[in-house]
Amino acid sequence: MLDVLYEDNHVIVVNKRPGELVQPDPTGDPALEDTVKAYIKAKYNKPGAVFLGVVHRIDRPVGGAVLLARTSKALVRLNEQLKQRQFRKIYWAIVENRPEASEGELRHFLVRNGRTNKTVAYNTLQQIPKGMQQEAKEAILRYRLLASSDRYHLLEIELLTGRHHQIRCQLSKIGCPIKGDLKYGASRSNRDGGISLWARRLTFEHPVTHVSLTVEAPTPPQDTLWAYFEEAVSKA
């Protein structure tokens, strides 16, 4: 069932499940974009095709808030905000190791390998093999430790750039792989096949009213570890 977090005539924000595609791909698996189109068509009894524009994507194994535009005008304006880095994206990540500092800023240079669909983080441009330096993109995020359990730690992350697998590879680079993320060094997979990274909050300017909107995506209540951290943060 679709979890709608915010909806009006111009935009819709939904809570994506881990493992769900945002847009169709060659696998042919069901995609969130199609699910939302079907939801709008049924709810508003719309004849013909439904317009829907994906403003931003999150990786398939990641859950949380995804923003979609319901009109072409809204899509153009939101894309411009995204291009100008006017969105504020906050993620929650459950990691296997506690970072040395309880809060900080991470800066790396990332190089994506399209063949393996993996990104490698380097501390400096000079560390990148010659011939690959021109492909490198600077990646910046801020993090802070919110809570800890016996084995895991909850980090809140603000993305200052939007790179391929940025949070996953930057946290792995500092020795804090995300729970369940085998591709970036986690010790074991999650039962649902996803990873413990959640697009928690999204702040953007409404494309028509120009009011600032913040939408929060709850983590899955049936997941005992997420539920533990939700409670720990609420009591802090």
Decide if domain 4-235 falls under CATH 3.30.2350.10.
yes
DSSP 24-90: --TT---BHHHHHHHHHHHHTT--SPPP-EE-----TT-EEEEEEESSHHHHHHHHHHHHTT--EEE
Residue 145 reports pLDDT greater than 90:
yes
pLDDT digits (tens, 9 = 90+) for 85-127: 999 999 999 999 999 999 999 999 999 998 999 999 999 999 9
pLDDT score, position 190 = 95
Residue 28 reports pLDDT greater than 90:
no
Is residue 181 part of the annotated active site? The answer reads: no
Count how many Cα atoms sit within 13 Å of the Cα of residue 110 in the half-sphere of its side chain: 26
Residue of 3, 25, 34, 59 marked active site: 59
Ramachandran class of 150: left when φ > 0, alpha when ψ lies in -120 to 50, beta otherwise: alpha
Mean pLDDT of 160-164: 94
Cα 215 to the center of its chain, rounded Å: 13
Question: Is-contact 78 67, C-beta < 8 A?
Answer: yes
E strand spans, the chain: 4-7, 11-16, 53-54, 63-69, 88-95, 103-113, 118-122, 137-148, 153-159, 197-205, 212-216
Q: Where are the domains of the chain?
A: 4-235
- What is the percentage of the chain residues whose pLDDT exceeds 90? 92
Distance CA(5)–CA(156), nearest Å, equals: 20
